[in-house]
Amino acid sequence: MLSYKKTIQALASSKMRRIFISTGLVIAFITLSACGFQPVYRKNSETGHSSNQYLQTVRITPLPDRPGQILHNMLRDRMNPLGQPRQPLYSLKNTITETTKDLAVRLDNTTSRTNLTVLSDYHLVRLSDQKVVFTGTSRSTNSFDQLDDPYTNLVAEDTARKRVLRQVADDITLQLGAYFTKASK
């Protein structure tokens, strides 16, 4: 008889827990909608277009050097998955600054850890009148170990560079998506 009461109490407490969690989620969604939160890729009810469709009208200008090529390709993958637009409405112009900074130094005065920072300044230009409609900056930092083998150092630095550029590409895409969502209202 005692175990039956404990089972009933456990079921009642789990039901109450579920009710509290679901009530909390409903309150969280109501709070988010009250503060103006909107999904970035939602279709606008007036125009019928999403910011993702606007992103596909952006031509990404090529960038020099290998980090620029990697960023260019990552931006194209995110914004133009079907390839560069044939009749673009906008052009995205980027400049990349890459810096390294030694963090940890061994007793023999060699570096053991390095920070790699990429800063990207970009401008979105409307092609119809060549007006800059949006500017932004994206920055990301990643670190990597410096070992005694030069090949492992090259691989570690290259991997850190790709991670940093991936984060910068994601940030630029999100910022432009937010711009198009706001501009299409």
Residue 23 has pLDDT above 60, yes or no: yes
CATH 3.30.160.150 fits 51-183, yes or no: yes
Is residue 109 within 8 Å of 159, Cβ to Cβ?
A: no
Nearest CA to 75 out of 90, 51, 55 is that of 55
Residue 120 has pLDDT above 70, yes or no: yes
The Cα 185–Cα 152 span in angstroms is 50
> Considering the chain, what is the average pLDDT of its residues?
81
The Cα 62–Cα 76 span in angstroms is 10
Mean pLDDT score, 9-33: 66
User: Would the pTM count as exceeding 0.75?
Assistant: no
List the beta strands (DSSP E) in 24-110: 58-60, 90-105
Q: What is the pLDDT of residues 25-71, one digit of tens each?
A: 677 666 665 555 555 555 555 554 556 778 888 999 999 889 999 99
Residue 125 has pLDDT above 80, yes or no: yes
Is residue 123 within 8 Å of 93, Cβ to Cβ?
A: yes
Backbone φ/ψ region at 113: left (φ over 0), alpha (ψ -120 to 50), beta: beta
Domain extents in the chain = 1-37, 51-183
The single-letter DSSP state of residue 120 is E
- Give the CA-trace dihedral at 81, 68, 141, 101, to 10 degrees: 170
